Amino acid sequence: MSVTFVGMPKFPIAAAEALANPQLRRNLRHATQTIRAKRAAVVAEVPDWAELRTAGAAIKDRTLRHLDDYLLQLEENLTAAGATVHWARDAAEANRIVADIVKSHDVKEVVKVKSMATQEIFLNEALEAEGIEAWETDLAELIVQLGHDRPSHILVPAIHRNRSEVREIFLREMGNVGLAAPDDLTDVPRDLAGAARRHLREKFLRAKVAISGANFAIAETGTLVVVESEGNGRMCLTLPEVLISVVGIEKVLPTWQDLEVFMQILPRSSTGERMNPYTSMWTGVHAGDGPQEVHVVLLDNGRTDVLADTVGRQALRCIRCSACLNVCPVYERTGGHAYGSVYPGPIGAILTPLLNGVEAGPVEASLPYASSLCGACYEVCPVAIDIPTVLVHLRSEVVDSHRDGVPTAEAIGMKAISRIFSSPRLLRVAQRAGSLSRLVMGRHSGRISTLPPPFSAWSSARDAPLPAQESFRGWWVRTNGGHSSGEPGRPEQIRTEPGYSTIYESGPDSGASGQPMYGSASAGHAEGSDASGPGRAAPGPADQQ
Ligand code: SF4
């Protein structure tokens, strides 16, 4: 099953819509700048951050190289600890497994810990189709769910909402699905959190089944780990009788010692905290303590295909910290919805086409281009995923996918440019035409902001400067390679810095017109006779010593 939302247009169209919303841009700018600054401050405190980053990448790479072995070890230890392990090839299988377990307990509702894996398989929608309501308990996910909205950030799914919008949603929606928000609710964060706490508390106390993901799964003991900030996860993982955890197969770590590295880099990269407030770890079933029935669904859903891609497989290192989203200039302006995928931002721009394939649809084919390739995402990634390289790799796959069909406008344009660049005569004509185009384009603004089709696809997203009045080639011919001003009889001094005193003259007195004359020999500058300088064009005295 696809990890994209149904009916989403390709990225440029969705991005243009998002850019037209100034309130959205304000919300995003404020939120991303705040998290960015917090992350930068706590990362700067760690003297061996670079080493931790290298270690994180190395542990993930080693694990991925032997993934089959570690997964079997994880299954063996989970089973030995009393959990039931299920293997799901895709979203449909995972959803069926979860729905069957829930139905076997004859319940109509479950509580959920925030989990990207369950979002990826659209579990809530699948459960709803079976008559089961899934209540999100993470505050931001609750806002998204009550607002009938879609998440727009991995860590802060309601980042596109400001607090007065949240207040309106709580007042309007809470009473429809449980305990209503108080009528005098303000938009002060403490009041909003209080309303959410009261609303969720009755759901926690009532629910018999909880569903979670896991940040890490430790193979040597069969232990699952959830890292969170609000405590809702701890409630879900301890109160209900049955716990179902949907875990992507790339979440496995071989040992507890490996976890040490990730517990240092994850909180600082995600929320900009030295340590997250709640870390829950559980190993199977313990009599009289926590859920008495534990299921773990190990989810592939395209991950083994990603593993087979030697360039793209580094995306499986991702620990979903969101640091790359918070620094991305594209994400900061468009927000997460424009990516049309459960995974937004730079990691979404590679993970979505990797999981689904670039030919899966217009969203997948457009996401590798949703980047300026500035490299900020790579700089902050705590497991050193080289997102720009993977983006370029995916762009080449998109281009390759069109080779057999009707050529795109871009392909036709590139072919024409290649023909022009290989012919001096055609290049001269094209440059003249470019200079003349100034007369019709951008005369008033000084910039080109609209071009006719098929070039409109390019100009719809960016302005371009006007072509130069004169091309470099034209200037070169007119001035004899810069040796003359192009105007008869007028001398021109091109370069006069000490050590490189080169006077260019043109006109009847300069002998061979336009030839450079060096230092004292021509202009009386003894100190300028160093013939090793870059202004040199012919052997001077120094060469003969
Ligand atoms: S790609 Fe790197 S920075 Fe982005 S979410 Fe994943 S781990 Fe974090």
pLDDT tens for residues 369-414?
999 999 999 999 999 999 999 999 999 999 888 777 677 777 788 8
497 pLDDT above the threshold of 50? no
CA angle (11 as vertex; 10, 17 as ends), nearest 5: 105
Instruction: Kindly report each contact of residues 368-373 with a partner whose C-beta sits within 8 Å and lies 24 or more positions away, as own/partner.
Output: 368/392, 368/394, 368/395, 368/397, 368/398, 369/11, 369/12, 369/395, 369/398, 370/11, 370/15, 370/330, 370/334, 370/338, 370/339, 371/328, 371/330, 371/346, 372/329, 372/330
User: Of 373, 366, 281, 381, which Cα lies nearest the Cα of 322?
Assistant: 381
Ligand 1: residue whose CA is nearest its atom 3: 381
- Residue 540: half-sphere exposure toward Cβ, Cα within 13 Å: 23
Coil, helix or strand at residue 245: strand
Ligand 1 center to 489 CA (angstroms): 64
Which region among 153-157, 180-184, 480-484, 503-507 has the lowest average model confidence (pLDDT)? 503-507
Burial code (b: 16+ CB inside 10 Å, e: under 16) for 22-45 equals: eebbebbeebbeebbeebeebbee
Which region among 216-220, 442-446, 470-474 has the lowest average model confidence (pLDDT)? 442-446
User: Both ends of the chain: CA-CA distance in Å?
Assistant: 77
Structure tokens at 211: 């569903």
Decide whether any atom of ligand 1 lies within 6 Å of the 266 Cβ.
no
- 496/444: higher pLDDT: 444
Ligand 1 center to 359 CA (angstroms): 24
245 pLDDT above the threshold of 90? yes
pLDDT at 448: 82
User: Of 289, 290, 226, 222, which Cα lies nearest the Cα of 256?
Assistant: 222
Ligand 1 center to 378 CA (angstroms): 8
Coil, helix or strand at residue 424: helix
Coil, helix or strand at residue 80: helix
Say if residues 193 and 384 touch (Cβ distance below 8 Å). no
pLDDT at 495: 47
Coil, helix or strand at residue 338: helix
Ligand 1: residue whose CA is nearest its atom 8: 321
Task: Choose which residue among 306, 319, 350, 378 to substitute to test ligand 1 binding: the one with the highest number of ligand atoms within 8 A of its C-beta.
Answer: 319
pLDDT at 445: 73
Decide whether any atom of ligand 1 lies within 6 Å of the 383 Cβ.
yes
CATH number belonging to the domain at 46-131+153-161+203-304, selected among 3.20.20.70, 1.20.1090.10, 3.40.190.10, 3.40.50.10420: 3.40.50.10420
For residue 435, the one-letter residue type is S
Ligand 1: residue whose CA is nearest its atom 7: 318
Alpha-carbon Rg for the chain, nearest whole angstrom, is 31
Phi, psi of 302 (to 5 degrees): 100, -10
What average pLDDT does the segment 50-61 reach?
98
Ligand 1 center to 123 CA (angstroms): 23
Residues 259, 275: Cα–Cα separation, whole Å = 14
pLDDT at 489: 52
Tens-place pLDDT, residues 515-535:
433 333 333 333 333 333 333
Say if residues 19 and 335 touch (Cβ distance below 8 Å). no
H or E element at residue 85: strand 84-88
pLDDT at 442: 67
Decide whether any atom of ligand 1 lies within 6 Å of the 321 Cβ.
yes
pLDDT at 220: 98
Alpha-carbon dihedral 84, 71, 342, 260, rounded to 10 degrees? 100
What average pLDDT does the segment 177-199 reach?
96
DSSP code at position 229: S
Task: Choose which residue among 385, 390, 391 to substitute to test ligand 1 binding: the one with the highest number of ligand atoms within 8 A of its C-beta.
Answer: 385
Ligand 1 center to 216 CA (angstroms): 15
Nearest atom (ligand 1) to Cα of 315: 1
What average pLDDT does the segment 277-298 reach?
96
pLDDT at 213: 97
Express as a percent the part of the chain with pLDDT over 70: 88
pLDDT at 267: 97
Ligand 1 center to 353 CA (angstroms): 16
Ligand 1 center to 15 CA (angstroms): 21
pTM, 2 dp:
0.80
Tens-place pLDDT, residues 322-365:
999 999 999 999 999 999 999 999 999 999 999 999 999 999 99
Nearest atom (ligand 1) to Cα of 322: 5
- The domains of the chain are located at 46-131+153-161+203-304, 409-473, 479-538
What average pLDDT does the segment 153-168 reach?
92
H or E element at residue 282: strand 278-282
pLDDT at 509: 41
Express as a percent the part of the chain with pLDDT over 90: 70
Nearest atom (ligand 1) to Cα of 347: 1
Say if residues 222 and 80 touch (Cβ distance below 8 Å). yes
Count how many residues are written for the chain.
Answer: 545
Decide whether any atom of ligand 1 lies within 6 Å of the 227 Cβ.
no
447 pLDDT above the threshold of 70? yes
Structure tokens at 410: 């871009």
Decide whether any atom of ligand 1 lies within 6 Å of the 215 Cβ.
no
208 pLDDT above the threshold of 50? yes
- By DSSP bridging, strand 216-218 and strand 209-212 are unpaired
Residue 479 CB partners (closer than 8 Å, separation 6+)? 485, 486
DSSP code at position 289: B
Decide whether any atom of ligand 1 lies within 6 Å of the 347 Cβ.
yes
Decide whether any atom of ligand 1 lies within 6 Å of the 381 Cβ.
yes
Decide whether any atom of ligand 1 lies within 6 Å of the 324 Cβ.
yes
CA distances from residue 417 to 359, 397, 422, 431, 468 in whole angstroms, order as listed: 27, 22, 9, 12, 18
Decide whether any atom of ligand 1 lies within 6 Å of the 102 Cβ.
no
Residues 414, 388: Cα–Cα separation, whole Å = 22
Average pLDDT taken over every residue of the chain? 87
What average pLDDT does the segment 293-305 reach?
98
pLDDT at 524: 34
pLDDT at 1: 58
Task: Choose which residue among 155, 262, 266, 269 to substitute to test ligand 1 binding: the one with the highest number of ligand atoms within 8 A of its C-beta.
Answer: 269
Decide whether any atom of ligand 1 lies within 6 Å of the 318 Cβ.
yes
Ligand 1 center to 105 CA (angstroms): 37
- pLDDT band at 464, cuts 50/70/90? confident
In 125-269, beta strands by DSSP E: 133-136, 209-212, 216-218, 223-228, 242-248, 252-253
- pLDDT band at 490, cuts 50/70/90? low
What average pLDDT does the segment 64-90 reach?
98
Say if residues 24 and 153 touch (Cβ distance below 8 Å). no
Ligand 1: residue whose CA is nearest its atom 6: 318
In 100-155, beta strands by DSSP E: 109-112, 133-136
